[in-house]
Structure formats: structure tokens, C-alpha cells
A and B are shown apart, each in its own frame.
Chain A
Amino acid sequence: MRRQLEGSLAVADTVARCRPRVVAAYPISPQTHIVEALSELVASGGLAPCEYLTVESEFGALSACIGASAAGARTYTATASQGLLFMAEALPNASGLGLPMVMTVANRALGAPINIWNDHSDALSQRDAGWLMLFASSNQEAVDLHVQAFALSERTSLPVMVCMDGFVLTHAVEEVDVPEQEQVDAFLPDFHPRQSLDPDHPVTIGAMVGPEAFTEVKYLMAHRQLRALDEVSAVAQEFESAFGRTSGGLLQPYRTDGAELVVVALGSVLGSLADVVDELRDEGLAVGALGICCYRPWPFDEVRDALRGVTDVVVVNRAVAVGSGSILGQDVRLSAPRGTAVHDVVLGLGGRPVTRDVLRRLVLDVVTGRVGSDSLTFFDLDHDRAAAELARELADTVPANGGGS
């Protein structure tokens, strides 16, 4: 049913309809409304049978999820920012042990300095943890991706992270078609774990593996992750057949046919980007957008195909790899066909809005040669403020008056 409601509540209702048996979570802005709503649903009997575990930390939350999944329960958690980092020790255990579960990440900047607002530095910092990572561009897609994520997770026996922009999506009130219980039940079969901990049929999950086999285990993990690309596409197609709308999948190209310049981005900025593409196309510029919905595994070939024939690629990075450059930009560079100029741009950090005006200016600056392709560009930087601080630091290191104070 179509409803006008907050993104967090739409996600909580949808997760409930996926019938998790265990939810373990620790509240953190901007994820809180999701887990609050789920705890109320469990308390009121709206989600049953389900055990809601109030844990002492995010580390506890993910550890409880690992145990619950190993015991054969459909399992869910949600977090953001440093909460995700507090899970970091356990993240590769969930994936390495092949334990299905779904986690929402309400994307928020990493501190310090402390900042509660949206960017992608939390999720992208965990890109190598072995989880499948899907990014939602709207609340409708966030809802749909959660249904797909449970199916995908259980088919591949791998954990799935559904990333949705904190505040920008989680707190936005917009129109969402929340899937009905019967629809979800028809789409999502009961969970049959590949193996589970059962005292009557003992197995070991998580035995030590020494040098004689560790490389092979890692090779198989890498192989399984890449194989999941097919499942991501298959689940999205099945979803479309069942629900009558397109959501998810590997990539979301927008007017890339014949485009000479394509902007690549993750998450909620894609809507504004589509508006800007329409505007610039009307003005005669051959531009398009490429949304990455499946960030891990990285759809290497699909991105390469989508960028074939494109002269300039602009990557919108909403996270920085300090000391190296960009994160999404590195992936795009791996895929960009030879000879394509990749303009790696950082913007929208810590909640600075990526408005249509900013995106329009970005494209026009690339077209007029103001944004290079040989180095990282901080696009929405206050240059005067940054320069003043650098000058002050420089002055501090040069002893004045012979070093006396």
C-alpha cells in the first residue's frame, strides 16, 4: 500500500514483514528510528515470533546476530557511523563464516570531529569486510532492497548491508509502497540455513584454519563474492516480476546512451542528479548518470560496459581515503575503459548538501576544464577558510623573532 511516511518507519515495517526471528541492535543516530520502531513492533506482538535483543553495544549486537544466524534464525541489525566501526571486529566473521543476515547502515560520517550527518565514510570503510553492500537511492528503493537483501543473503549464505543515507532518507517523509505481508511471504521463502548449530546434530562453525588451507578458503570467499553478482541481478529481476517495479540490481544507468560525460554516484544523490541530467540534456549537453546500487561485489564488467564510449567520467565521492585519495573513485578507475578521463571529486562530506546547483556546477566545471582528471578535487571546499588555516599552520612552524615567544 502506498503511504506517506518517514523512511525509517517504512524500512522498519518492511523488515518486520520479512519476519526476522532475531533483531539485535544498539541505537545510534540516524539509525535510531528504525530499531525503535522494530522494538515496538516486537513488544506489541506486531512482529512475532521474534526476539529483540537489547545489547550493550554494536559489537554485542553483531555478535548476537552471528550467534543467532549460526543457530539458524533469520537475523537483522542496523547501525551507523562509529557504531559500524564498533562492529568491525565481527564483520569479517559474519561473512567469513558464511552467515546470512541483513544490516541497515544509516550512512553517517565518521568522527573525529564528531558529526552526526550523512556521508558514506562509514560503509565504505568496511568495503573489504566480505559483506554484500547495496546502496538505496530513495526510500522506495531502501524498502525494496531490504526484501531483496534477505533473499540474496540466504541464497548466497552471505551477510548483506543495505546502505541508506542518514537523515536524507531515514528522516525524509515521502511516498513509499510498503510491500504487503502476503507479497513478502510469496517472495521470501522460509530460511533454510546451509548449516546450523544444533545440539542434536553437532557441527563446528568457525574452526581454526592454518597456513595449509587459509589461502584456499580466502580464494573461495573471493570467488563466492563475485559469483553473488549474478544473484544480485537475478533477485532484482524476480523482484520486478513479483512487485511490478524496478529496484536494486547492479547498476542504474540514467540517459547514458550517447553520453560523452557520465557522473557516477552512490545513494540518494542520484535523484537530484537525474534532474540535473535532464536539465543539461535539454541544453544540449550529452551527459548521463550511472548509479551504483551494488557496491560490493564490485560489478567490474558491467561498469566497464556502461562507460564504454564515454569521454569523461565524474565520480562523486562522499568519503575520503585520507593519505590516498578516493574510495569509489578507485573502483571506477579499475573499470574505466582505457583513455577515459576519470575526474575524481569529493563533495557532500558530513552532511554538506549536494544540491542540484552544486551538481550542475560540477558538470559544467568538468566540461570547461576546471576539474582535472589527474588528482583528487575537493569540489565544495571553502578554499579561503582552508588556505587561512594552512597559512596559520605554516606560520606556526616558522620560528618568529628568532624563536622567542
Chain B
Amino acid sequence: MKLDVRIHGRGGQGVVTAAELLSVAAFDQGLHAQALPSFGSERTGAPVTASCRISDRPIRSHDPVSHPDLVMVQDLTLLRDPAVLAGLPDDGTVLVNTRRDLADLARGGLVMGPAQHWVTVPANDLSRELLGRPLPNTALIGAVVGITGLLEPEAVAGSIRRRFAGLGEHVADANVRLAELAYDLVATQTRGSGTHA
């Protein structure tokens, strides 16, 4: 069993934090995990990538994920860069932060592989509602939990709580809630779409 995730976003969206939170949740439930940032010269808004590997076996490699099972896209505009979907297998999963639905994205010219599993979550909207700011990473983590069924929601809530403990209980609570909301949304979408999860 393994899940290789690659996260694409922009500086300030919590790309590196998302990879870390997933890896900590996986570790907490007894799996092996690794979060690897690929740092550039950090600037708010610049494209940022991070990798997360989860496995039931010890992880030896430290290279960035080049054949992801799941790609998380925190900013829709990044999909213009072919590197974002590089190495994704024909039956890979793409999770996109957008309020638009898949039909709308397809009309806009987005090409989705016929066997690929695309999921959209309005993570910015959810975050604006609960945090007052568009910080999509915790909602998207909740969506990963819903899509893959690999991580326990409690483990993810725990990793989010610990990570944001320093910012006050209300911030931690709101982030846990964001993960739960996205988890529920994805469960609905997955049932509705009839594609595999």
C-alpha cells in the first residue's frame, strides 16, 4: 500500500504545510510517511511544489515524487503549466481548488484523461467563510482523506490541531472544520460522479 502525493500551489497557500500535515497524520496512525518541500526562493504568490509519500513500508528514497498517485492543485491557474500533471498515470487523481465544476472546466479547455479521477473543492470559499482568508490547504487535506480513504479523519484532525495550536484554539478548530467540510463534499461528489475513488 502506498500513496504518493504531489502538491502544487503558490507561496502563502500552505503547500509545504499541507505535505507536512498529511505525513504527520499518516505517521500518527502507524504508517510510514515523508514530506519533502522543493523550495525555491520563497516569495508570496510564486509557484511552490511539495511531495508527500505515505506507505505501509519504510520509505528510503528522498527524491521528489515524479509519478504521483494524486496531484493536489491549490491554484487553478497553475494547471496551465504542463509540469503540474507530469508523471500522473492514466488512472491518476487530480484534486483542484476551484468553485467551478468539472463540466465548466472542460468547457474552458481543460483536458482530463478519460480514466483519470478529477475532483473539485471550493477550498478558498470554505476558508474565507471560516477563517476570513483564502487558505485552502486544510480543506484540501480533508478532501484527500475523503478521496483516498487511506487516512483516518481523527488522525488528520489531530495533526491539524497540533500544527495550529500556537495560533489559538479557534484557528485550530476552524481548520479541522474545513477539513471535515471538504471531506463531506468529496464524499458527495465521488458518489455522484460514479468514478472510482
Q: Which residues of A contact B (CB under 8 A)?
A: 4, 6, 30, 116-117, 138, 165, 167-169, 171-175, 268-269, 271-272, 274-275, 353-357
Contact = CB atoms under 8 A, between A and B. Distances in A.
B24 A355 contact: no
Contact of B32 (A117, A173, A175, A274): A175
Contacts of B38: 167, 353
Given A167-B37, A173-B20, A173-B24, A272 B66 contact: no
Interface string B35-76: 111110100000000000000000111111010000000000
Given A4-B27, A173-B23, A271 B60 contact: yes
Nearest to A166: B39
Contact of A272 (B23, B35, B61): B61
A271 B66 contact: no
A173 B19 contact: yes
Given A271-B60, A275-B61, A355 B66 contact: yes
A171 B37 contact: yes
A175 B66 contact: no
Interface of B: 19-20, 23-24, 27-28, 32-39, 41, 59-64, 66
B61 A173 contact: no
Contact of B35 (A172, A268, A353): A172
A355 B61 CA distance: 9
A167 B37 CA distance: 8
Given A138-B62, A175-B27, A271-B62, A167 B39 contact: yes
Interface on chain B toward A: helix, strand, loop, or mixed SS? mixed
A11 B63 CA distance: 20
Contact of A116 (B23, B27, B35, B41): B41
A167 B23 CA distance: 17
A175 B20 CA distance: 12
B61 A4 contact: no
B194 to A, nearest CB: 34
Given A4-B23, A172-B35, A173-B20, A357 B62 contact: no
B28 to A, nearest CB: 8
A168 B33 contact: no
11 contacts: A138-B60, A168-B36, A169-B62, A172-B34, A172-B62, A173-B19, A175-B27, A275-B60, A353-B63, A355-B64, A357-B66
A354 B62 CA distance: 9
Task: Among A4, A138, A355, find the residue whose CB has the most chain B CB atoms closer than 10 A.
Answer: A4
Nearest to A172: B36
Given A165-B62, A173-B20, A174-B59, 16 more contacts: A4-B23, A30-B39, A116-B39, A138-B62, A168-B36, A168-B62, A171-B36, A171-B37, A172-B34, A172-B36, A173-B24, A173-B34, A174-B33, A271-B62, A353-B64, A356-B61
